Copies of this chain bind each other. A is one copy, B any other.
Amino acid sequence: MNKQAASEKPYHHGDLHEKILCSACELLEENTVSSLSLRAVAKKVGVSHTAPYRHFKDKESLLAGIAAVGFDRLSAQLADAVAAFPDDPATQLQEAGHRYVQLALECPQCTQLMFGGILPCDDTYPALRASGDAAFDGLKQIIEDGQASGAFKTGDIELLALTAWSAIHGLSLLLVSGNLPEILSSMIDNRALTSAVTTTMLEGLKAHHSDI
C-alpha cells in the first residue's frame, strides 16, 4: 500500500526508456544513422546490451521513436513560423521554409532517418505516422489560409501543399546529403539558397492578378 500514485518506474535505473531514446538521439548525430548501434546506445546509458529490448521491440522501433520526435520538432517550427507572421500566408510559407532547412541542417542524421526510407511509413508505427501527418497538416493550413485571403492561386490544396513541400524538402535533402555541386555548396549563406528557392516557389503559387 501507499504505492505513491500509479506512475512509478524505479528499480535499477530511472526512466530507462527515456534515457535510451535521449542517448540514441545524441549518438545518432555523432555519426551516420546506419552506423548507430543498439549496443553502443546501451553502453552509453550504462546498461547491458540486451536491456533496451525491455523498452523497444527492436532497433527499428527505437529509430521510429527518434523519428517521431523529429517530426514533432518540425511541426513546432511550422507553428512558430505561422505565429511570427499572422495573416500573411506568403511570408509564413517562406519563414516555414527557412525553418525547415535550418532544422535539417541542425540534425542532418535525424533528417535522413525521417526521410531516408529507413522506416516503414505505413501503420507499423502509428505514433510516427501521426507526427508526420500533423506536420503536413500544418503546411496545408498555410496554403488554405493563403487561398482564402486570395494570396495563393486556387486549386487542390493537397497538390499545392505538395508542391511547396517538394521544393523546400528537395533543397533540404540536397544540402544535408552533400549532393550540391561545389559552386553552390561553397556559398557562404545557406539562407541565400533557401531564399532563392522559396521566392521562385512562391512566385509559382501566387494568384495571377492579371487573371482577375
| Interface, chain A (partner B; CB < 8 A) | 32, 34, 108, 112, 114-118, 120-122, 132-133, 136, 156, 158-160, 162-163, 165-174, 176-181, 183-184, 193, 196-197, 200-205, 210
B170 pairs with A133, CB closer than 8 A: no
With A117-B108, A173-B115 as given contacts, are A201 and B167 in contact (CB-CB < 8 Å)?
yes
Q: How far is the CB of A119 from chain B (nearest CB, A)?
A: 9
A174 touches B181 (CB 8 A): no
Chain B residues, CB < 8 A from A204: 200-205
Q: For the complex formed by this chain, how many copies does it contain in all?
A: 2
Q: Is the interface of A mostly helix, strand, loop or mixed?
A: helix
Q: When the two chains form their complex, are residues B166 and A174 in contact, meaning their CB atoms are under 8 A apart?
A: yes
Q: Tell me, in angstroms, the Cα distance from A203 to B160 when the chains sit together.
A: 13
Q: Taking A165-B170, A170-B169 as contacts, is the C-beta distance between A112 and B117 under 8 angstroms?
A: yes
Q: Which residues on the B side are within 8 Å of A159 (C-beta)?
A: 184, 193, 196
Which residues of B sit under 8 angstroms from A201, Cβ to Cβ? Answer: 163, 167, 200-201, 204
Q: Write out the residue numbers on chain B whose beta carbons fall within 8 Å of the beta carbon of A183.
A: 158
Q: List 29 A-B residue pairs with CB atoms under 8 Å apart, sorted by A's residue number.
A: A32-B118, A112-B117, A115-B174, A115-B179, A116-B116, A117-B177, A122-B178, A132-B181, A160-B196, A162-B196, A162-B197, A163-B167, A163-B200, A163-B201, A165-B170, A166-B168, A166-B169, A166-B170, A166-B197, A167-B201, A168-B170, A169-B170, A169-B173, A170-B173, A200-B204, A201-B204, A202-B204, A203-B203, A203-B204
